[in-house]
Amino acid sequence: MTQVNDQYLRHVEVNNPELLEILNEYSKLHTMQGFEENCHLSSKQAIRQRDFYVGPKHMDEIVGQGAGHEGFPDELVGYNFKLSDKAHMMFEQDADPLFKRDMTLHLRDLNDKMMNFLSVKHNALAAVYPPGGFISWHNNANAPGYNLIFSYSEDGSGYFEYIHPETKEVVRSQDQAGTWTCKAAYFGHYGQDDQIMYHAASTDDWRCTVSYVFDHSDESVALREMVLTDIESVE
């Protein structure tokens, strides 16, 4: 099923110059001198199994687990730059200390700017995928919330697929070459069966995704709409 735009997943045009300036720094991370030598590529042994992990057989396996699936993907072939207590896992063990310092400071600055612009407090994902990279089928039921997912791929080969919560069809949202896209979607928890959203992503070229989550408060509903308007604004 081709891309749809409805209450389950909304496509938001990224036009705001201030936001694009921040996002473009993410899309350039892999071009930094020393990137591949110093940054840790997770699950690189699984790259040969990409077709399985983003394919229908694994999708059916994960869906079939029901609430037994914890929510996390089984595999992510990419560079994980989500800042956390395990931030040291972003780098190779013998990484250059100066590179680690400069990269960590740069990522922290970008994350702070994103959270300030979006008025959020939680970064769900920050990943750079190499050619052949992917994130396997999962549903984030362990971390429910209203997500803003920003993605960029150089040649447009990257995509995001999800099982539509109502029709149960697999929907593909294709990247646009050299353009940032934004998907706004609620990922539900177990007990919200009509809002569970299984999804996966893959790419043949360099791809970057950063995702942020709004809280569950009633006040955040109006705030989300304001933020979405700001994202689309050219001013």
Q: What 8-state DSSP symbol labels residue 133?
A: -
Closest by alpha carbon to 76, among 171, 28, 140?
140
Residue 87: per-residue pLDDT:
66
Residue 168: per-residue pLDDT:
94
Half-sphere exposure of 177 (CA within 13 A, CB side): 3
Q: Are 200 and 136 in contact (CB under 8 A)?
A: yes
Q: Are 75 and 82 in contact (CB under 8 A)?
A: no
Q: Which residues pair with 179 in a beta bridge?
A: 176
Residues 52-92: tens digit of each pLDDT: 999 999 999 999 999 999 999 999 999 999 987 576 689 99
Residue 193: per-residue pLDDT:
85
CATH topology of domain 9-232: Jelly Rolls (2.60.120)
Q: What is the C-alpha to C-alpha distance for residues 103 and 128, in angstroms, rounded to an integer?
A: 14
CA 58, distance to chain mean position in Å, is: 20
Closest by alpha carbon to 137, among 112, 170, 176?
170
Q: In the predicted model, what is the mean pLDDT of residues 149-169? A: 96
Residue 235: per-residue pLDDT:
80
Q: Where are the domains of the chain?
A: 9-232
Measured between alpha carbons, how far apart are the two ends of the chain, in Å? 34
72: left (phi > 0), else alpha (psi -120 to 50), else beta? Answer: beta
Residues 96-138: tens digit of each pLDDT: 999 999 999 999 999 999 999 999 989 999 999 999 999 999 9
Q: Quote the pTM value.
A: 0.94
- The two tokens of residue 66 are 């029901």
CA 232, distance to chain mean position in Å, is: 19
Closest by alpha carbon to 139, among 207, 44, 64?
64
Q: Would you say residue 2 has pLDDT above 80?
A: no
